[in-house]
């Protein structure tokens, strides 16, 4: 579509107030002809909410979403036919959103000033089509007016200030300004929408006398509250994830993010929820609130990308089920248009390392095809000229060139292809994948290895030296291992696309040979894991055995960080150590996946001991209680414990391999995934001294029970084996 609308902004200075743009129109605008269809085309430099004749237009929250704005700004198209009347009033409120907020990428005052100077721009068109097919467009121009809204302040990190009694003194003609339209793209990702309303579980007085509301579940979104008040009464709310060991409200881990709501009441019964921001929280503190608050006055509104739930894990172990729930809530809370690292503190960015670690689990839990397609397109758009990938996408100038982080460029598209079977994602990202390999090849200090540079290494590895976050695994080892792995994925992607990848096959062969000559010993759990999982170890079984010995020798404890943890259990169970993998999964002492559950976690934590055994906090500096990466363990449960595997030669579950690996410490375990081909399900349970297996496959499958492989067609099957 050729936009006839122009970019407009308020002609008056409003400071921190969110402007509202107004356009009134009637049937005469289209010659009085009978309307067949009416649409609103709209985008903004920030986030917007459109209201037509008192009704919200669409369900999209925080539209137009977060993209690499310099090259990709989404616009939305809404059908407004049913909202039209004889006399119409369209209002569009514009907030800062991600576009104009001082997110961490702009760490200098100069950068913040540059971002703050971006206008609160709106671009819109009302497109009316009559019964004869004639079209009338009412685009943004000087005929639109702008004034101050009731939203007196709104920002992603700091929250929202709303005055319910405010009335604008006047609306002045909007001002047209020059801004590009060349970066406009139609909506590509999933819409962000309200998903669940969670009623407050309790309102209580903390030991220090503060009034706290507990929703019983950490969510990403915002609070909705209802109260009966007088004009001018004040509400002030702070958000937090956890209570301290004395039971008091705590949010020092939000760092510089104020995460506050300020609300000024009008007369009577009123309901409010923020419109231009979001929070990560389980608890709220009522710093000011008229009357005596009751649980029924408060709801936590969970907001995330509108993804279809496809995967489910259940077991006989309640603590394990809570972990499965925590993983789902962690994904919901952090899949808000981009795969963020956390939803609460002054960060909330699309960290590539977290995304690549979790992408397989993500694609089993939910249909994330569209979600990742959009995010990976932003990655390609932001790829630096040298081929490196920003540590966060959309890129915010916080660095590039880290192994396992940049490798999201190859790992994510390949996994999306395996799960959904559509080559289009590979075709779109193939140049990005190749350019990334070129970056490593051109910048390494040693040919056929990845040496030099700055890396996050095995971030938060538990074997880290005192004072370090990076674990004890060698940086060159990790980087070279991922160089090999990503090159192998380029080869696989190229072959799937029918491309000539012979040069990458040669490169991969040389990387593996050089790696094996260079790294003749493996010193940490993570080094063992990567050597086996990336097919670099000359004797993988021996290396996996050595890994198992290391794990057992330190008390059956994992010591891996962000790099090694996603693959740890896979390596153990692939080489005869499934019992040890279950021991790690079911362990409740620190460090373990279930230790946070013992501390009341309802999402996955950034640190295994975010709350330490004595009740103290790990730190205030970097201690998120909703950080999804370690939830990657769920893909081991799907694939190894329950046994559901994709087949590389037949992606998208065109064919299935189901090879369950039960454990007597669980009475039963069930996994199911709604694939593009239909439901695949695996259930095993102990029954009279044997294991009973119930398996459903929508495609031809090879079912492996006790080492015996059976070829079957689509259907439902029951097998038995001895315990």
Active site amino acids: 347, 606
Taking the C-alpha atoms of residue 623 and residue 604, their distance in angstroms, rounded to an integer, is 11
DSSP per position, 273-341: --SS--EEEEEEEEEE-SS---GGGEEEEEEEE-PPB-EEEEES-HHHHHHHHHHHHHHHHHEESEE-S
Could you tell me which residues are beta bridge partners of residue 47? Answer: 95
Query: 176 with 122: CB under 8 angstroms?
Result: no
Phi-psi region of 209 (alpha: psi -120 to 50; beta: other; left: phi over 0): left
* Among 363, 390, 328, CA closest to 626: 328
**CA quadruple 280, 284, 288, 290: dihedral positive or negative?**
positive
Taking the C-alpha atoms of residue 576 and residue 568, their distance in angstroms, rounded to an integer, is 13
Taking the C-alpha atoms of residue 93 and residue 75, their distance in angstroms, rounded to an integer, is 15
Neighbours of 399 (CB within 10 A): 14
**Dmax of the chain from CA atoms?**
83
Could you tell me which residues are beta bridge partners of residue 202? Answer: 214
Query: 565 with 572: CB under 8 angstroms?
Result: no
Taking the C-alpha atoms of residue 529 and residue 485, their distance in angstroms, rounded to an integer, is 13
Taking the C-alpha atoms of residue 536 and residue 526, their distance in angstroms, rounded to an integer, is 13
CA 123 to chain CA mean position, Å: 28
Return the HEC string of 176-191.
Answer: ECCCCCCCEEECCCCC
Main-chain phi, psi angles of 225, to 5 degrees: -130, 150
Taking the C-alpha atoms of residue 194 and residue 273, their distance in angstroms, rounded to an integer, is 12
């Amino acid at each position: 579509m050729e936009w006839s609308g122009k970019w407009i902004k308020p002609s008056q200075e409003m400071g921190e107030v969110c402007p509202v743009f107004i356009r009134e129109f009637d049937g005469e605008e289209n010659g009085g002809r009978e309307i067949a269809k009416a649409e609103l085309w709209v985008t903004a430099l920030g986030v917007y909410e459109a209201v037509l004749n008192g009704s919200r237009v669409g369900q999209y929250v925080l539209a137009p979403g977060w993209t690499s704005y310099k090259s990709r700004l989404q616009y939305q198209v809404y059908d407004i036919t049913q909202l039209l009347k004889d006399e119409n009033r369209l209002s569009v409120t514009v907030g800062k959103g991600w576009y104009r907020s001082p997110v961490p990428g702009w760490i200098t005052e100069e950068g913040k000033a540059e971002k703050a100077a971006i206008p609160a721009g709106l671009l819109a068109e009302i497109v009316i089509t009559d019964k004869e097919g004639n079209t009338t467009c009412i685009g943004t121009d000087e005929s639109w007016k702008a004034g101050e809204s009731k939203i007196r302040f709104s920002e992603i990190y700091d929250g929202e200030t709303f005055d319910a009694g405010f009335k604008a003194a006047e609306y002045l003609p909007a001002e047209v300004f020059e801004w590009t339209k060349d970066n406009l793209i139609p909506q590509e990702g999933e819409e962000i929408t309200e998903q669940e309303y969670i009623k407050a579980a309790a309102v209580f007085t903390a030991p220090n006398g503060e009034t706290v509301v507990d929703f019983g579940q950490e969510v990403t979104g915002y609070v909705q509250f209802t109260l009966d008040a007088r004009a001018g009464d004040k509400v002030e709310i702070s958000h937090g994830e956890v209570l301290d060991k004395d039971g008091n409200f705590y949010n020092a881990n939000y760092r510089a993010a104020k995460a506050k709501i300020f609300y000024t009441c009008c007369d009577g019964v009123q309901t409010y929820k923020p419109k231009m921001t979001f929070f990560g929280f389980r608890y709220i503190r009522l710093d000011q609130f008229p009357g005596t608050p009751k649980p029924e006055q408060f709801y936590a509104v969970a907001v995330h990308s509108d993804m279809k739930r496809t995967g489910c894990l259940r077991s006989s172990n309640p603590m394990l089920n809570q972990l499965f729930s925590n993983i789902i809530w962690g994904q919901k809370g952090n899949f808000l248009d981009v795969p963020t690292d956390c939803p609460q503190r002054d960060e909330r960015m699309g960290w590539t390392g977290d995304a690549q670690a979790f992408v397989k689990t993500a694609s089993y839990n939910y249909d994330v095809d569209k979600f990742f397609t959009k995010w990976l397109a932003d990655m390609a758009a932001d790829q630096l000229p040298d081929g490196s990938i920003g540590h966060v996408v959309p890129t915010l100038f916080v660095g590039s060139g880290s192994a396992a982080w940049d490798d999201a460029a190859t790992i994510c598209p390949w996994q999306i292809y395996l799960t959904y079977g559509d080559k289009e994602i590979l075709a779109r990202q193939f140049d990005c994948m190749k350019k990334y390999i070129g970056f490593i090849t051109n910048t390494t200090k040693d040919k056929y290895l990845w040496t030099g540079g700055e890396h996050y290494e095995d971030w938060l590895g538990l074997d880290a030296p005192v004072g370090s976050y990076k674990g004890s695994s060698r940086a060159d080892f990790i980087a070279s291992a991922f160089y090999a792995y990503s090159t192998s994925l380029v080869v696989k992607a190229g072959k799937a696309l029918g491309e000539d990848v012979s040069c990458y096959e040669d490169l991969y062969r040389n990387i593996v040979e050089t790696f094996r000559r260079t790294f003749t010993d493996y010193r940490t759990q993570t080094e063992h894991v990567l050597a086996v999982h990336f097919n670099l170890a000359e004797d993988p079984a021996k290396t996996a055995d050595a890994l198992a010995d290391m794990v057992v020798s330190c008390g059956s404890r994992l010591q891996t960080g962000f790099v090694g943890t996603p693959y740890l259990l896979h390596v153990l169970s692939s080489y005869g150590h499934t019992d040890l993998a279950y021991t790690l999964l079911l362990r409740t002492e620190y460090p373990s996946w279930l230790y946070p559950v013992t501390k009341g976690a309802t999402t996955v934590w950034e640190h295994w001991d975010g709350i330490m055994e004595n009740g103290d906090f790990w730190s205030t500096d970097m201690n998120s209680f909703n950080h999804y990466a370690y939830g990657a363990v769920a893909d081991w449960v799907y694939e190894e414990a329950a046994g559901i595997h994709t087949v590389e030669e037949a992606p998208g579950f065109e064919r299935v391999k189901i090879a369950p690996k039960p454990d007597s410490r669980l009475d039963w375990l069930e996994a199911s995934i709604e694939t593009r081909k239909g439901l695949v399900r695996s259930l095993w349970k102990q029954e009279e001294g044997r294991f009973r297996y119930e398996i459903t496959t929508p495609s031809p499958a090879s079912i492996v029970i006790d080492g015996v492989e059976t070829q079957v067609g689509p259907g439902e099957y029951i097998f038995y084996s001895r315990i």
